[in-house]
Amino acid sequence: MLLQTRRETNGSAEKIVQTTQLTCTSKTRRMVVMWRSSSASDGSGPVVVIAPAFCRQMRHLVALAYSLSMNGAIVYRFDPLDHIGLSDGQHRDFTLTGALESLSAVVDFACSSEQRRSLVVVGVSLLSRVVTRAAALDRRLSRLIHVSGVVDIRSTIARATQCDFLGMEREMLPNTAQFERYTIAPPFYDDAYHEGWTGVESAAADLFRVSQPVVAFQPTADEWVDLSLVRELFQSRENSGPRYLLELPYGEHSLERNPVGLQTLMKHVTHAALADDLDSNDNFTVNLPGFDDIVAASLRERQFHRDSRKEMQTNASRVYQSAVGA
């Protein structure tokens, strides 16, 4: 399938962002579905992998994906295993270890397919914990970006669900806790304790082991994440690599409904992902998709997702293109 929209933007050049649906196989032989977006004709741009927030799908990353790809990056997004979206598994079986398995499969695929030895990885919200642990284990992840990164999983889940799910005794656990319309279930609990995901200490241990640069974008009044904890961790001398904490003066954990906040985030994430040197103030111009471009792209990706879901049985390769003002 090919979708293409052309639009003149005051005579300036337009960029064609092409998105292709791909699949890879995880180490437990399950299918992870990815979208690869790119506007570079020669395929020479840096590769960026984005992990979506909990209970969000890769289509919800359209603004970041477009901003990055319009500026030359090759962007991979994926739906984690046992999560909402197109990859294998049911959401009630979701675990952070399963998300780590999904990310590892995507990183392997992207490095092999794009013939790269390193790439940038972006983790949104809860999945920032996953990208951090992945980076501690895999030096191919040369730079990390956290967006509204979660530090204390137990506290964030308690705030978001009004239920201290991870603070309960195992035998007292409810069948599920509700987050928006989705559930957090016992497999998540068991994995969080068995694999050491819960607790600030475990977040600190993972972060401190990462010698690669980590750039965190954190809303200053995030209702689900304690900013002072993020500052504390990022300021710690136990860190083994450079840390950059960029505070966004917007109140919400999720910036997807705040187009002005999102625009600031797109600009700075793109810069953080593509700048040669994070310490230099090289102010290269970041081209951003406009509001209308993002609206149009979001609607196209929603349809792309729906069509994909219907046609998953055929496992057909799917592509669409859209043109956005540059």
Partner 1 sequence: MTQALSSCTATLVNRVLEEPSRLDRVIFGSRQDPFAMTPSERDHFLLDVVVDSLQHHVRNNPRVASFFARHNFSPESLGRLADLDTIPLLSADVYKRMRVTSAADTPIVRSFTSSGTSGAVSRIERDNLTLQRLSGSIRQAARLLEPWVPRDVNDEDLELVNLGPSREEAGEIWFAYIMAMAEIIAPSTYYVSGGVSYLEAAADAVMERITSGGLIGIVGAPFLLFELAKRFLSTKKRPKAHERLFVITGGGWKRNQAQAVVPSTLRAMTVEAFGLVSESQIRDGFNQVELNSIFFECDYHRKHVPPWVHVTARHIETLKAIPAGEAGLMSYVDASAMSYPCFFIADDLGTVSADPCPCGRTGPTVTYHSRIARQQAEGCSSKLDAKLTDRRRK
Q: Which residues bind partner 1 (CB under 8 A)?
A: 9-10, 180-181, 211, 217, 220, 223, 231, 234-235, 237, 239-252, 257-261, 263-264, 268, 279, 290-292, 295-296, 298-299, 302-303, 306
Q: Which is nearer to partner 1, 170 or 181 (CB)?
A: 181
Minimum gap (Å) between residue 94 Cβ and partner 1: 17
Count other C-beta atoms under 10 Å from residue 124's C-beta: 27
Q: Which is nearer to partner 1, 201 or 292 (CB)?
A: 292
Q: Which is nearer to partner 1, 100 or 265 (CB)?
A: 265
Question: Which contiguous run of DSSP H or E holds residue 25?
Answer: strand 14-25
Minimum gap (Å) between residue 246 Cβ and partner 1: 5
Say what angle helices 291-311 and 259-274 make with each other, to 10 degrees: 80
Report the distance separating Cα 172 and Cα 136, nearest Å. 34
Minimum gap (Å) between residue 172 Cβ and partner 1: 28
Minimum gap (Å) between residue 41 Cβ and partner 1: 25
- Residue 6 burial by CB count (10 A; 0-12/13-18/19+): exposed, middle or buried? exposed
Minimum gap (Å) between residue 294 Cβ and partner 1: 10
Give the E-state strand segments of 127-224 in sequence order.
141-147, 177-179, 182-184, 214-219
Burial 105-116 (b: 16+ CB within 10 A, else e): bbbbbbbeebee
Count other C-beta atoms under 10 Å from residue 72's C-beta: 17
* Closest of 72, 44, 2, 7 to residue 323, by C-alpha: 7
Q: Which is nearer to partner 1, 113 or 298 (CB)?
A: 298
Minimum gap (Å) between residue 119 Cβ and partner 1: 22
Q: Which is nearer to partner 1, 66 or 197 (CB)?
A: 66
Q: Which is nearer to partner 1, 36 or 305 (CB)?
A: 305
Residue 49 has φ and ψ, to the nearest 5°, of -110, 130
Count other C-beta atoms under 10 Å from residue 186's C-beta: 15
